[in-house]
Amino acid sequence: MVSLGAPAPRPNDDTPLVLRAIQRDEEAFAELYERHIVRVYRHIYYMVGNAAEAEDLASQTFLRAWEAIERYQVRGAPFVSWLLRIAHNLGVSHLRSKRESSQLHDGIVDDTMRRDPESAYQQTAEEELVREAILRLRDEQRQVIILRFIEDLDYREVAEIIGKSVAAIRVIQHRALNALRKQMKLLDPAV
């Protein structure tokens, strides 16, 4: 099982590994998998809200990437952006096929909070409120919020994944944050 608590690796230069993988070097692709599986899994997990489904979709993401690696073109954007775009498309297809509302997660336990049950409850309640509000956003807005604030990607990387301009991503983020504030107030007027 993939751990959500693992820190997201900062973008590094995957180009030498990608070039080897394009030549069907399985070891190079395995290294790319190790570098990026946590981010791909986490991205999908926040979309579908189910650990088993997220693991399956993450596996499918890397399978599709391996099948298409020969068509990948190094253009200066991080390789992980390409992977997250594949993951995003698989996640959207999966959600469309389900056509039912799902929670964003099954529950994430922060080990540091186990010592203080009251704080743990408060933190969990706040996280649930935020996740519920995120779930109520339009698909595109939800994706921008997840990529920008959960995956900690910059505007250019998000634009690459979503397939829009940086300016469009900024506008979507602005509108998403406003919509998120409204959703938070609807869900909990005390906010």
The answer to whether position 189 is within a domain reads: yes
Is-contact 79 66, C-beta < 8 A? Answer: no
Q: Are residues 36 and 68 in the same domain?
A: yes
What's the CATH number where 135 sits? 1.10.10.10
- For residues 40 and 100, state if they share a domain: yes
Counting Cα atoms < 13 Å in the Cβ hemisphere of 187 gives 19
Domain with 150, as residue range(s), is: 114-191
Q: Are residues 118 and 102 in the same domain?
A: no
Last residue of a domain, one of 84, 106, 128: 106
Question: Which tens digit of pLDDT belongs to each residue from 21-30?
Answer: 999 999 999 9
Which residues, 6+ apart, have CB-to-CB distance to 125 below 8 Å?
none
Tens digit of pLDDT for each residue in 144-163? 998 888 888 889 888 888 88
Residue 63 sits in the same domain as residue 129: no
pLDDT value at position 119?
67
CATH of the domain at 87: 1.10.1740.10
Question: Would you say residue 5 lies in a domain?
Answer: no
Q: Give yes or no: residues 99 and 39 share one domain.
A: yes
Same domain as 100, residue 23: yes
Judgement on whether residues 69 and 102 belong to the same structural domain of the protein: yes
Q: Is residue 2 part of a domain?
A: no
pLDDT tens by residue, 134-145: 878 888 898 899
Tens digits of residue pLDDT in 67-78: 999 998 887 778
Alpha-carbon distance 12 to 15, whole Å? 9
Q: Is residue 83 part of a domain?
A: yes
Alpha carbons within 13 A on the beta-carbon side of 164: 15
